[in-house]
Structures are given as structure tokens and as C-alpha cells.
Chain A
Amino acid sequence: MDDLLTIAGTSYASRLLVGTGKYKDFAQTREAIVASGAQIVTVAIRRTNIGQDPNTPSLLDALPPSEFTYLPNTAGCYSADDAVRTLRLARELLDDHRLVKLEVLGDPHTLFPNMPETLKAAATLVKEGFQVMVYCADDPIQAKMLEDIGCVAVMPLASLIGSGMGVLNPWNVQLVRDAVKVPVLLDAGVGTASDAAIAMELGCDGVLMNTAIALAQDPVRMAGAMKKGVEAGREAFLAGRMPKKFYTASPSSPTSGLIGS
């Protein structure tokens, strides 16, 4: 059986979602994203540069929406109102596209989510027919609130956005996983392939990352490594790891038949 990730009724073979920021150029963006195998890519919504040559290549040329599922985000928004406005523009921009990534930030130093504003924006967006995937704190109570509002996926942070610090609180990630039925995607903080594997071994349904790939020395190679990390972690989760034995060692080789015995 295929092991697919289903979000809002659509199934995806890849459990790795990637951002499209911080790359050297659009050619590298595309090459890395293809190497990652990701099918869902996040994009930001920004004012057009007035006065810029309108024929400058755009992200949509490098990554046609026919080839990838776009996930417009609200990065940089610090209030529910700004986030909702941004996603209404995204929906218009992408021809009534409904699947979105909500993030309402609390402060520019930590980029930690402002959960009261996030909950408020989520309620408005769900009411307006958006399919909301939501960046949130690794808090099982608020994750459940977001599910109850109607969000289609919750996305707790592993550690601060862009920090590469990895999964700092695996216990909370598991609590979130146990608290909700919708997919849990670990968002933000992954630094290298083992972090992605750990996230998947904890039972996450997917991982979303950008900086760990874009700022690697060789982004295309790291994209491939992340693909394997996510796949290995998922397989290990499904295989079911052996129980940890904290006080007793257990030899892997026979204990009898040793020479001289």
C-alpha cells in the first residue's frame, strides 16, 4: 500500500514540504526543490516592485503552479487582520486557491507564533472557506483548539524559524501528535537530515523546511538528503522501534558456545 500524506482530502506521496526563499537564484530554487521531491511549496505574498522591469523572471515561471501545489504563507504578519488580508490576496492571485499556511508572528526576534492572534485568524479563514495549515506553538491544548476551529493541519515549531537547532522538545511534539487527528507537520528549526528523521520517528506526518536546504553549502545535495531523512524516519516510525532498555544490556551474539567454556 502506498503511504500517502492526506491534507484536506488531497493525497501527496512526499511528506517533505519546502519553502522557496533564500536561494541564490530561481534556477537553484528549482533544482533544489526537484531534488527534495516536495510536491507542496510555500510562497510569500509581497508588494510588486513598482518601477522594476515587468519582464523580470518570476517565481511562478521557475515553479509553475501546474507542477507544484502552492502554499501561500503569511510570513511577516504580526496581526490576525494582516494575515487574513494577505491570504485573501493570495486566493485572488492564485485563482481561488484555498490551501494556505497561516502564521502570525509574535516578535521579530524569535518569530515565535502569537497564538491568540493565530487562533483568531484561523477562525476567520476557516469561515471564509480556506483550508488552513497553521504554524503554532508545540502546545497540545492550543493545537487541539486549532483542530476544533477546522484547521486542516497543525504545524508546531521544532525550534525557532531559521535557527537550524533541530527538535528541541520531542516530548511536546508527541503530545501534539497525540492531541489531534489532523496531520501534524513539524515546521521550522530543522537543521539537517537527522532532525527531519527524528521528527518523522516521533510520528509527525510531515516536515516543512526552507533554510536548512537553502543555506546548506550545497543546497541541491542537502535537498536530496532531507528527502531521504524524511523517508527513513517515516519508515522507522511505521516499522516500530525496539523498546529502550535503560538498565539492562542485551548481547546480540549467542551467550553460549564460547571457546574455553
Chain B
Amino acid sequence: MSAQAASTSLFLTINGEARAFAAPASVASLLDEMGLTGKRLAVERNGEIVPKGLHATTALATGDRLEIVVAVGGG
């Protein structure tokens, strides 16, 4: 991979899977790219909750570990 490609890509771990996205990205732009905008979900970044109100202003960095969760049927 070229130095330029490396500098413009973000390497993230999302729900345990390695994924690459174009930089720069925020939590909001990531959700948009994944087609999840407007869905009822919650995001944790490196073990800390990212509140909905901060999705747009929370910038992502290479190495970030994200969890994106939803409510499902359960007892």
C-alpha cells in the first residue's frame, strides 16, 4: 500500500471485524456510509459510549475499536 493511500484511509475494527474507510471520518459519516443513519442504535468507541449528539463531531482515528449495537429479541 502506498504512503498516500495509508494516510487517507482509516483502519477500524467494527464489531470485531477489520474495516477500512476513507479519511477523514466521523461517527456520523461512518454510520451514513454503512446505511445506518436514522436507525435506532448505540455506538461505543474504544470502550466509551459516543452519545448521539456527538456522532457528527466525534472524529475517528486509525486503530479505533467500535461497537455498533441494536435491540433484538431476547428473554
Contact = CB atoms under 8 A, between A and B. Distances in A.
B49 A89 contact: yes
A85 B44 contact: yes
A60 B40 contact: yes
Given A42-B75, A70-B71, A47 B42 contact: no
Interface of B: 14-17, 19, 34-36, 39-44, 47, 49, 51-52, 67-75
Contacts of B68: 47-48, 50
B31 to A, nearest CB: 10
Shortest Cβ-Cβ A-B pairs, 7 listed? A44-B74, A19-B75, A210-B75, A93-B42, A54-B35, A92-B42, A20-B73
A126 B34 CA distance: 35
B73 to A, nearest CB: 4
Nearest to A43: B71
A156 interface: no
Nearest to B36: A54
Contact of B69 (A20, A42, A45): A45
Nearest to B52: A92
Given A48-B15, A60-B40, A88 B49 contact: yes
Given A22-B73, A50-B68, 12 more contacts: A20-B73, A21-B74, A42-B75, A43-B74, A44-B75, A45-B72, A47-B16, A50-B14, A58-B71, A92-B42, A92-B43, A93-B70
26 contacts: A19-B74, A20-B74, A20-B75, A21-B74, A21-B75, A22-B73, A23-B73, A44-B75, A45-B42, A45-B72, A48-B15, A48-B36, A48-B69, A50-B17, A54-B34, A58-B39, A58-B70, A75-B74, A75-B75, A85-B44, A88-B44, A93-B40, A93-B71, A94-B71, A161-B75, A210-B75
Interface of A: 19-23, 29, 42-48, 50, 54, 58-60, 70, 72-73, 75, 85, 88-90, 92-94, 161-162, 209-211, 214
Given A48-B36, A48-B41, A85 B71 contact: no
B64 to A, nearest CB: 15
A73 B41 contact: no
